[in-house]
Amino acid sequence: MLLRILGTAAGGGLPQWNCACPGCAGARRHPSRRRLHDGLAFHGTGTGAWFLVNATPDVAQQLESHADLRPGAGRDRTPVVRVVLTDAELDHTLGLLRLREAARIEVWCTQPVHKALTTRLPLTDVLSPYTELTWHDLPLTDAGPPVRLAGLEVSAVPLSDKRPRYAADEPAHPAWSTALKVRDPSTGTSALYAPALAGWSDHFGAAIARTDCVLLDGTFFDEEEPRRTGISQRTASEMGHLPIAGPEGTAERLRRLGAQVYYTHLNNTNPLVDPGAPQHEQLGGRGLRVAEERMVVSL
Ligand code: MLT
Ligand code: MN
Ligand code: ZN
């Protein structure tokens, strides 16, 4: 399979339109530091077929800037777009509105995400005059067979009951926020995408241990970053994102695993958005890396 990185920034992007913090100012001075909202496209082995993971506010630009995702191959338009969602967060779903020129949008998501996106953010009602929006159940890993998309097996590992702020009063459910598992049956290789890791469960640890490539929540470098930079009164973990560094951070836990790991969903406050930041050395020493924009991983 081919995994195409469409963006690597947390909500707001880099630079964020209303922010002049060092990370955002640096990205304005050095365009190579710019990052679009985190999202992926997967291609099955030996096929032109692909599907998106999450539909970000940057989705049209993301599709346009990858030749393999543009319309073509004998068609005037891309008739159907397939999107798998890890959660119902705005940075992962607003792009569905942007895709309304498609004849059909097919979406796979978990049950609480479907409820949020049809009631609290009424996408079916809003989009029905424009396109045909079809919802499908995204199966939970180990709870049934995965769904087959573009020749790949796709399922969701439940991570937490972290709800989007617009649906904060909805009931708790373990599949509000998930990691997406994608396995290529033709090679036996697999990838895991977890842009919001609120806690490290044994279940997640076991899923990661069986995976060849992990794209992991790299929103905040350390636990105090959101409070220190003034963007929130809460710590990184309280915001639903385990930090990279520190005793409870993901870097320490990942040291014991053999998978290729790339951090993604970087917030503009994360010092790693500056390629010269000394914090990069703390990653390199452990075999961990920051995902690059437009990176392609072949598994
Ligand atoms: C998150 O990743 O925690 C959310 O996307 C934050 C947001 O609402 O922008
Ligand atoms: Mn986010
Ligand atoms: Zn900023």
Closest ligand (CA of 39)? 2
- Which residue's CA is the closest to the ligand 1 atom numbered 6? 11
The pLDDT of 154-173, averaged and rounded, is: 98
Range of the domain at 179: 2-298
Sign of CA dihedral 268, 269, 275, 281: negative
Which residue is associated with the tokens 């995408």?
193
Atom of ligand 1 minimally distant from the CA of 164: 8
* Residue 288 predicted with pLDDT over 70: yes
Neighbours of 159 (CB within 10 A): 26
Atom of ligand 1 minimally distant from the CA of 89: 5
Give the C-alpha separation, 113 to 290, whole Å. 28
Sign of CA dihedral 187, 37, 243, 240: negative
Domain count, the chain: 1
Q: Quick check: 36 and 16 in contact, CB under 8 A? A: no
The pLDDT of 153-173, averaged and rounded, is: 98
pLDDT confidence of residue 20: 97
CB of 11 sitting under 6 A from ligand 1: yes
- Which residue's CA is the closest to the ligand 1 atom numbered 7? 11
Q: What percentage of the chain has pLDDT greater than the value 70?
A: 99
Lowest mean pLDDT among 5-19, 64-78, 145-159, 279-293: 64-78
Mean confidence (pLDDT) of the chain: 96
CATH number at 282 reads 3.60.15.10
Which pTM value belongs to this model?
0.97
* Residue 290 predicted with pLDDT over 70: yes
CB of 91 sitting under 6 A from ligand 1: yes
Sign of CA dihedral 263, 267, 271, 272: positive
The encoded tokens of residue 194 equal 């977890």
CB of 10 sitting under 6 A from ligand 1: yes
For residue 151, report the distance from its CA to the centre of ligand 2, in Å: 28
Q: What is the pLDDT of residues 215-249, one digit of tens each?
A: 999 999 999 999 999 999 999 999 999 999 999 99
Strands 132-137 and 104-109: parallel
For residue 91, report the distance from its CA to the centre of ligand 1, in Å: 7
The encoded tokens of residue 134 equal 């079809």
Confidence category of residue 47, pLDDT binned at 50, 70, 90: confident
For residue 225, report the distance from its CA to the centre of ligand 1, in Å: 15
Confidence category of residue 259, pLDDT binned at 50, 70, 90: confident
* Residue 114 predicted with pLDDT over 90: yes
pLDDT confidence of residue 73: 64
| Closest alpha carbon to 250 in 290, 218, 204, 289 | 218
For residue 205, report the distance from its CA to the centre of ligand 3, in Å: 32
CB of 15 sitting under 6 A from ligand 1: no
pLDDT confidence of residue 284: 77
DSSP 25: H
H-run or E-run covering 133: strand 132-137
Closest ligand (CA of 14)? 3
Radius of gyration of the chain (CA): 18
The encoded tokens of residue 177 equal 């926020």
The encoded tokens of residue 200 equal 């490290």
Atom of ligand 1 minimally distant from the CA of 162: 3
* Residue 74 predicted with pLDDT over 70: no
pLDDT confidence of residue 168: 98
* Residue 117 predicted with pLDDT over 70: yes
The pLDDT of 152-166, averaged and rounded, is: 98
Give the C-alpha separation, 121 to 126, whole Å. 9
For residue 27, report the distance from its CA to the centre of ligand 3, in Å: 9
* Residue 285 predicted with pLDDT over 90: no
Confidence category of residue 270, pLDDT binned at 50, 70, 90: very high
